[in-house]
Amino acid sequence: MERLLREEIARNGPISFERFMELALYHPQQGYYCRGEKPIGIRGDFYTASQLQPVFGSLIRGYIERLSDEFQLALPRILTEYGAGRGEMAEAFADWEYRAVEVHATPPAPPISGAIFGNELFDAFPVAAAVRDGSRVYERCVGWSNARFEWCTASEPSPEIAEYAARYGVPALDGFEFEVHHRSVRLLEELLANAKNALCVFVDYGYFERDWKRFPAGTLMSYRDHRADTDVLSDPGNRDITSHVPFHVLAEVARHAGGEVLRMERLASALLYAGERDEFQRVLHATNERQALERRQQLKSLLFGMGESFLAIAIAKHGSA
């Protein structure tokens, strides 16, 4: 992967970080997610909430069902999971029609109805990187120097990124670095354009607009062997690269695309909302003490670990399918 990136830089000069991230993660042969290895799980580089089964699946189902009841959505019993990975959510929705859709696969034919779910879907999308310099906004690029990949700045300001910054409230601080989530915006717009009588629920690393100033150096991270690192340029193809998701951007895009944002909150709040109707009895129901302990541990991890780091958003798209 390093050789491929170096050759492209030698041909064309410094490349956008979006291009660097796209190749590092999704190159058909050498990309991190495309090599046939399994980066997810205890023996991988990271794990996600979807591996905490059956508790996570049961809570997400409870979240969807309670929202559907409270807002009288009358959803068909279909779950379409984007970025489904190993399909861990299927068991919780065993009596529903379950559709797994990978990010780069052909999406289901419209209209898409029922529940639409994505866990850590947006945080691995390639993003552009940018920096403010006074009143101007410049794209950050990647070059090769001193026997390593290095950051550099485009010679001319970017009107497109400046428009994104103005629209979504990027802090107007000199030297502020941020990511531009064009691909997440496009996917959400396309999904909502094709959805009717649907409820979209997304869970991801993220932040609200009020929190954006906490990240003056941006939110890009890499992961290897369950260790996080802010160096996202080293060893491309052999480590995950992610960016935190600005949930207020998702909310604004959803409203503009005809969706209704029902809830936007920390994951812990969403899971408490999902489980409080029966005081988590369905989630914690077990047939033996070992199973009971495992489920209590999963619930604790979700509420007190991931629950504070992750956010959740629920978007309804009304209309007859």
Model pLDDT for residues 238-254, shown as the tens digit of each residue = 999 999 999 999 999 99
Is residue 291 within a helix (H) or strand (E), and if so which, with residue range?
Answer: helix 289-301
The strand pairing partners of 313, in sequence order, are 202, 264
Comparing 280 with 109, the larger pLDDT belongs to 280
Q: Rounded CA gap, 53 and 297, in Å?
A: 11
- For the question of whether the overall pTM of this predicted structure is more than 0.85, the answer is yes
The pLDDT of residue 26 is 92
129 and 218 Cβ atoms separated by less than 8 Å: yes
Q: What is the Cα–Cα distance from 310 to 6, expressed in whole angstroms?
A: 35
pLDDT tens column, 117-156: 999 999 989 999 999 999 999 999 999 999 999 999 999 9
Structure tokens given for 290: 């070992």
Q: Is the confidence at residue 52, as pLDDT, over 50? A: yes
* 34 or 237, greater pLDDT: 237
Residue pair 197/320 in contact (Cβ under 8 Å)? The answer is yes
Q: Is pLDDT at 166 greater than 90 in this prediction?
A: yes
Q: Is the pLDDT of residue 231 over 90?
A: yes
Range name among 101-110, 127-136, 158-167, 275-284 with the lowest pLDDT average: 101-110
Tens digits of residue pLDDT in 209-225: 999 999 999 999 998 87
Q: Give the chain's end-to-end CA distance (angstroms, integer).
A: 44
Please report which confidence band the pLDDT of residue 37 belongs to, taking 50, 70 and 90 as the band edges.
low
Residues 187-197: what's their mean pLDDT?
A: 94
> What is the C-alpha separation between 177 and 189, in angstroms, rounded?
25
Residue 281, helix vs strand vs coil: helix
Look up residue 226 and give its amino acid.
H
Core vs surface per residue 175-191: b (16+ CB within 10 A) or e: ebbbbbbbbbbebbbeb
More confident residue, 228 or 141: 141
Reported as half-sphere exposure (CB side, CA atoms, 13 A), residue 51 has a value of: 12
51 and 32 Cβ atoms separated by less than 8 Å = no
Residue located via tokens 């696969």: 105
Residue-level pLDDT at 226: 66
| pLDDT value of position 321 | 53
In the chain, the percentage of residues whose pLDDT exceeds 70 is 95
What is the percentage of the chain residues whose pLDDT exceeds 90? Answer: 80
Among 89, 22, 16, residue whose Cα is nearest residue 57:
89
pLDDT band at 36 (very low <50, low <70, confident <90, very high): low
CB-CB contact of 275 with 41 (8 Å): no
Lowest-pLDDT range, 34-48, 52-66, 109-123, 281-295?
A: 34-48
- CA 225 – CA 44 distance, rounded (Å): 6
> Domains in the chain, please, with CATH?
2-317 (3.40.50.12710)
